[in-house]
Structure 1
Amino acid sequence: MTATNRPASRLRAEGLTLSYDQRTVATDLTVDIPDHSFTVIIGPNACGKSTLLTALARMLKPRAGQVYLDGAAIASYRSREVARRLGLLPQTSTAPGGITVGDLVARGRYPHQGILKQWSAEDETAVVDAMRQTGVLELADRPVDDLSGGQRQRVWLSMVLAQQTSILLLDEPTTYLDIAHQVEVLDLCAELHAHKGHTVVAVLHDLNQACRYATHLIVMRPGGVIAAEGDPRNVMTAELVEDVFGLPCRIIPDPETGTPLMVPAAPKWYAPAGATSAETTGRTDAGDVPADGAAHDPAMAKTS
Structure 2
Amino acid sequence: MPQPKSLQPEGTSHGTPRLTGDGLTLAYDQRTVSRELSVAVPDKSFTVVVGPNACGKSTLLRALSRMLKPSEGSVLLDGGDIGSMPAKKLARTLGLLPQSSVAPDGITVADLVARGRYPHQSLLRQWSREDERVVRESMRATGVEDLENRFVDELSGGQRQRVWIAMALAQQTPLLLLDEPTTYLDIAHQIEVLDLCAGLHEEEGRTLVAVLHDLNHAARYATHLIAMRDGEVVAEGAPGEVVTERLVEEVFGMPCRVIDDPETGTPLVVPAARERARAAHTG
Q: TM-score range by the shorter chain?
A: over 0.9
Cα distance change on mapping 1:120 and 1:20 into 2, 3 Å: same
| Residue pairs, 1:2-41, within 5 angstroms | 3=11, 7-41=15-49
| Residue pairs, 1:42-191, within 5 angstroms | 42-191=50-199
Name the SS for the 1:227 alignment partner: strand
Aligned to 1:237: 244
Output one character per residue of 1:100-119: Cα deviation in whole Å (capped at 9) or x when no partner.
Answer: 00000000011001111111
Tell me if structure 1 keeps the 8 A contact 2:11–2:17.
no
Cα distance between partner residues in 2 of 1:243 and 1:68: 31
Which segments of 5 or more consecutive residues in structure 2 lack a partner in the other structure?
Answer: 1-9
Percent identity of the aligned residues? 66
Q: By how many angstroms is 1:193 displaced?
A: 0.2
Cα distance between partner residues in 1 of 2:81 and 2:16: 13
Tell me if structure 1 keeps the 8 A contact 2:12–2:42.
no
TM-score by length of 2: 0.93
Counterpart of 2:250, as a letter, is D
Name the SS for the 2:126 alignment partner: coil
Q: By how many angstroms is 1:48 displaced?
A: 0.5
Name the SS for the 1:116 alignment partner: coil
Counterpart of 2:190, as a letter, is Q
Output one character per residue of 1:224-275: Cα deviation in whole Å (capped at 9) or x when no partner.
Answer: 11110000001110000101110000000000000000000001189xxxxx
Name the SS for the 2:275 alignment partner: coil
**Which residue of 250, 267, 271 maps to 1:264?**
271
Name the SS for the 1:45 alignment partner: coil
Output one character per residue of 1:123-172: Cα deviation in whole Å (capped at 9) or x when no partner.
Answer: 11110010000000110000001100000000000000000001110000
Q: By how many angstroms is 1:6 displaced?
A: 7.6
Cα distance between partner residues in 2 of 1:202 and 1:194: 15
Structure 1 stretches of 4+ with a deviation exceeding 4 A read 2-6
Name which one, 1 or 2, has greater alpha-carbon Rg. Answer: 1
Q: By how many angstroms is 1:21 displaced?
A: 2.4
Q: CA RMSD in A?
A: 1.7
Tell me if structure 1 keeps the 8 A contact 2:11–2:42.
no
Counterpart of 2:262, as a letter, is P
Counterpart of 1:159, as a letter, is M
Cα distance change on mapping 1:117 and 1:217 into 2, 3 Å: same
Cα distance between partner residues in 2 of 1:165 and 1:269: 46
